[in-house]
Structure formats: C-alpha cells, structure tokens
Amino acid sequence: MKCSFCGTQIPRGCGKMYVKTDGKVFYFCSMKCEKNMIKLKRKPRDMKWTEEGRKEAKKQAK
C-alpha cells in the first residue's frame, strides 16, 4: 500500500492508518507525512519531496 501523502510504498505491518469521521481512510508511512497532511493541511503537490511534488516540478520545468 502507498502513503497517502508522499506516495512511497509502506511495508506490511508498518505505518499508520487514519480514518476521518466521514469515512475517508489515509495511510501514512511516517509522522512527517501525517503531520503535513492532517495538522498543517498541506497539499502533496506543493512539497518537493513527495511523488506528486516531483511530477509537478517536472511539469513546470518543461
């Protein structure tokens, strides 16, 4: 399964599952990803170190 924020693979038995009250399920590989998404309300595409951020940077470079 992949991290909902950074997009890296989470090994089986590791990470954290976060369930919102509306039923949405998020998986996090680290506290860094969890904090950025839940507490700081950041978008993955704005962070250069995430999978979506790297895609966005490539798109802007063209």
CATH 1.10.287, domain 16-61, yes or no = no
Write the pLDDT tens digit of every residue in 26-56: 999 999 999 999 999 999 999 999 999 999 8
Residue 60 has pLDDT above 90, yes or no: no
The pLDDT assigned to 29 comes to: 96
Longest dimension (CA), the chain: 40
Q: Which residues of 3-36 are buried (b: 16+ CB within 10 A; e: fewer)?
A: bbbbbeebeeeebeeeeeeeeeebbbbbeebbeb
Domain residue limits, the chain: 16-61
